[in-house]
Each structure stands twice: as C-alpha cells, then as structure tokens.
Amino acid sequence: MDQNLQKVIDKRIEKTVENLKKNQMEAYYVQTCAEAVELVDRLCQPGETVAVGGSMTLFEAGIIDHINSGKYHHLNRYDQGADVSRMMRDAFSADTYFTSTNALTEEGELYNVDGNGNRVAAMLFGPRQVIVVAGYNKIVEDMDAAVRRVEKVAAPANVARLGLASPCAQTGECVHCRSKGRICCDYVRMGMQRTPGRVKVIIVGQQLGY
C-alpha cells in the first residue's frame, strides 16, 4: 500500500484504539491475520470453552482454524449435524465468544445488527470475554456512518452470502424491507463497558469480511 495512505489509515486506527480503551474495552492493532491469531492464542487458555458468532472475518483471518485446532472446547455450530439452536444458548456460558463487528467507530463504539439476536446478546452478556476481530475496513467515523455502513455494505452482502430473498440482494442497499428473509431485527450500539476488558477488540491492518 502507498505509504501516505497507510499513514492516514494508521492514524484512524490509533484514534479508534484510543477511544475503545476510554470505553473500557481492551483494544489492539495488529498488521496481519497471523498476528491476530497469535494474540488470540495469548488471550485464551488451553481447554477453555469457546463459541463464535457468524462471521466471514473469523474464517478469513484464520481464527476459526485456530479454535478448531483442538486446543479449546469449541461449541462448533459449523459441525455437521450440530444442534445450532442449543449451541447458541450454550454460548452464553462460554469462556470466550468470538465475533467480528458490522462497524467500529472512531469514537470507540461497536455497532451490530442481528437477525436472530444470538450474536449481539452474547456480546452484551454471558461469555467471560468477547474477542472482536475486525479488519480496518470496518472503521467508520461515527454512529451515523455505522448505520449507513450496515445498510449499504454489511447487510446486503450478508443477505447475498446467505442466499436470502430480501430485496437488498437485488438493490445492493437497504430498502427497509419486511421480507421473510430480513436479517436486520436487533440493532445494538455498544459504548462504554461496565466490566473493564471483558470486550477485547483486535483491529487487523487488512480488509476482512463485510
């Protein structure tokens, strides 16, 4: 990447990390997915129970491969024949919950929109720690931009990925549907946390997920 552009991105990441810390979340910046995996390895204890929220980022960053390495007890919703509904409930008592985020503001807040609500619920309460892995492309200026990001990028792309019949799969942007395939039902903004460090955000200096 052009060095001048890299400097601009680095500044945005620094500002975001600083404000996440002010909001009592641990925040890290790593340049590569391999470094993100190394960091996860340090943050989690062997044998602990881990669960994941649906995320392309976790696959792309190699986090899913890592937690499937046998080092942890993974409540693996991707296992053939898994009782996904049961696992979503069991995830609330996991030691670590892995997810990405739909958007991350420079003001240090997370914004997520769910269809089932299981992911945002576990981010809010239950697991001892929540590790959020996000490419720098998830960083936006403020909450208005976070809402726009979900409506114009994250939700339509996820609808297409899941092969749902919601209209944004055709329009490429949210039309505030009431379709059966609607994946936007629960809108959660996470600001300053009461439990310091429960939420840990790893920003990766690569574009990941959507």
DSSP state of 152: I
Q: Which residues pair with 28 in a beta bridge?
A: 202
Do residues 109 and 189 touch, judged by C-beta distance below 8 A? yes
What minimum distance in Å lies between the beta carbon of 153 and ligand SF4?
Answer: 10
Binding mask 159-198 for ligand SF4 (x = CB under 6 A): x------xxx-----xxxx-x--xxx--------------
List the one residue out of 133, 144, 138, 145 whose CA is nearest residue 27. Answer: 133
Classified as helix, coil or strand, 167 is coil
Site for ligand SF4 contains 43 (CB under 6 A) = no
- The structure tokens listed for 10 are 């680095």
Binding mask 139-158 for ligand SF4 (x = CB under 6 A): ------------x---xx--
Do residues 133 and 97 touch, judged by C-beta distance below 8 A? no
What minimum distance in Å lies between the beta carbon of 178 and ligand SF4?
Answer: 8
Binding mask 53-92 for ligand SF4 (x = CB under 6 A): ----------------------------------------
- The structure tokens listed for 20 are 């996440």
Instruction: State the residues that interact with ligand SF4 by CB under 6 A.
Output: 151, 155-156, 159, 166-168, 174-177, 179, 182-184
